[in-house]
Chains A and B, each alone.
Chain A
């Protein structure tokens, strides 16, 4: 028994995990796949519909296709805007944080605080904060004469949503970058001083290359989360004005729950899922491959 090179009974021990994954992911997911290829005329009366939902969804001339394309573009634009602010800002703040002494713990805790607040609470805070009549932010901007109005003006709505995400999630980029910076041995800074490098040269030639790995992780996480943004725009703008801040997730909920258009919503979920998966995979592969290729 013991002298067998492999023992298939080991599979037995994996069973609980398989069962868990089956019920938490595979079954719900297959239900969605199931809906996406069927149509229904009433309760529990389904019939085969082939790839019609998908063709409709991906055809920009159809009503649902136009809606999907618009929401997709807005979601990509939102991710790009949030990343463009959060990553540089996160690195910049991480560079300014103290490296030793009692201030380290304090500043890290203060930095991390926004991340501990639930999404809908953040949404409520900003919903009030941005109000023109009683919100500090909205009232001040209106007071100094800026055309700020979350419910009427798409630009105001967009800025507000991006600022909320920056406020809520830049701390994650800061903490990751800070950890990456702390991992750089002192000898690098000493060598740079001996080589007469300027502060900017130290950043470009030492800190940024050493941060590359954590930044790949930070960008991935931030991309996934911003691409799935839902709660804040729902609470603050309700997807408006018009559909200016209606992102994919919001549209999905509207179609699935508002219109009870299950087949369309299921097809949309799958495409949404595949987009996130593909984008992350491409980004990760390109970053790691580029890195490897440059070494040889």
Chain B
């Protein structure tokens, strides 16, 4: 039962980092609350695995302090940290049975045999591994192996956090959903702090209470899946979350009006005078093709996803993705779009600007 605090944690793999570019992880302050499920989301090489390994103690950070509750554990070795970690590729002990695998961390900590058996049975039941307990772990499927890796972490009753490093990478797509809901169920049952590293936004958004979006060694935004979707703080979050990502249009903003691609767009709030590098951002979900009203656009391509249809259009030369309403039958080469004012956001130098009031 722990709260984990990152106090200015930063890491560089080179000895003497000279510029910001040398840092795999730039200074980060964050508190991971007990009982929450977090996802670290970002493209490959953004520093998320580095951060995870710092928490588990596999890497000692170059700067900053790591606190478990109020205890400084920055330099404490992994085995004394009460951390469980599940890796990208399932790690199992080949020669052992499933039961022996689960018992291994307890045996290493010299727990009495009877207590080990009871605890292993308990965890196996939770992970639905009971039927396989006597089998050799090596012959099992990847998802069962990954459950064993997780089980070896959970079996320790003193474990304070479970870290996942892209745990579903090698799992069959059909079984991913199942295993992920298993993780959710374990999270609810054990009330543990869980941190889940992934580059798959669906995994992150469905698993976590809070998502930390990372890019180039920085935490760009920390928020609920809804916040990331509705109000991305940074254009990167807008691009990265959502499929396809947010539309960004270079614009001039004047009060509660924006001018982009030769058209006037109504905003949900008023804005102070902004200097250059201003863009407006709007998710494709909040731009719709209309039969008549709205701004005139050229239609370039229509993507039919079955459940929904998206139109790639050009608004005065600026590319834009818009939703096609279900009742609109055919789309010609010309159309009109309307923007949902409440969901049109304003960005200056890639960062979102808060509106003043409508």
| Interface membership of A63, Cβ < 8 A | no
Q: Is the CB of B91 within 8 A of A191?
A: yes
A85 to chain B, nearest CB (A): 25
B156 to chain A, nearest CB (A): 9
Q: Is the CB of B91 within 8 A of A188?
A: yes
- The number of chain A residues with a CB under 8 A from chain B is 19
| Interface membership of A3, Cβ < 8 A | no
When C-beta atoms are compared, the residue in chain A nearest to B137 turns out to be A295
Chain A binding surface, main DSSP class: helix
Q: Is the CB of A194 within 8 A of B93?
A: no
Q: Which of A185, A194, A209, A294 contacts B79 (CB 8 A)?
A: A194
Q: Please judge, given known A-B contacts A196-B108, A197-B104, A295-B136, whether A187 and B91 are in contact too, CB under 8 Å.
A: yes
Chain B binding surface, main DSSP class: mixed
Q: Is the CB of B104 within 8 A of A195?
A: yes
Interface size grouping (class) on chain B: 20 to 34
Q: Please judge, given known A-B contacts A209-B95, A296-B139, whether A190 and B104 are in contact too, CB under 8 Å.
A: no
When C-beta atoms are compared, the residue in chain B nearest to A208 turns out to be B95
| Interface membership of A205, Cβ < 8 A | yes
Which chain A residues lie closer than 8 Å to B89 at the CB level? 185, 187
Which chain B residues lie closer than 8 Å to A210 at the CB level? 94
Which chain B residues lie closer than 8 Å to A194 at the CB level? 56, 78-79, 83-85, 105, 153
Which chain A residues lie closer than 8 Å to B84 at the CB level? 194
Q: Which of B58, B77, B108 contacts A201 (CB 8 A)?
A: B108
| Interface membership of B176, Cβ < 8 A | no
Q: Is the CB of B93 within 8 A of A209?
A: yes
Q: Is the CB of B79 within 8 A of A206?
A: no
A181 to chain B, nearest CB (A): 15
| Interface membership of A193, Cβ < 8 A | yes
B289 to chain A, nearest CB (A): 49
Interface string of A30-46 (1 = CB under 8 A from B): 00000000000000000
| Interface membership of A289, Cβ < 8 A | no
Q: Which of A188, A196, A206, A295 contacts B109 (CB 8 A)?
A: A196
Which chain B residues lie closer than 8 Å to A198 at the CB level? 108
Q: Is the CB of A191 within 8 A of B85?
A: yes
Q: Please judge, given known A-B contacts A191-B85, A194-B83, A194-B153, whether A205 and B58 are in contact too, CB under 8 Å.
A: no
B87 to chain A, nearest CB (A): 4
Chain A interface (Cβ within 8 Å of chain B)? 185, 187-188, 190-191, 193-198, 201, 205-206, 209-210, 294-296
Q: Which 9 A-B pairs have the closest CB atoms?
A: A295-B139, A196-B108, A191-B91, A187-B87, A195-B105, A209-B94, A196-B79, A193-B78, A205-B93
Chain B interface (Cβ within 8 Å of chain A)? 53, 56-58, 77-79, 83-85, 87-89, 91, 93-96, 104-105, 108-109, 135-136, 138-139, 149, 152-153
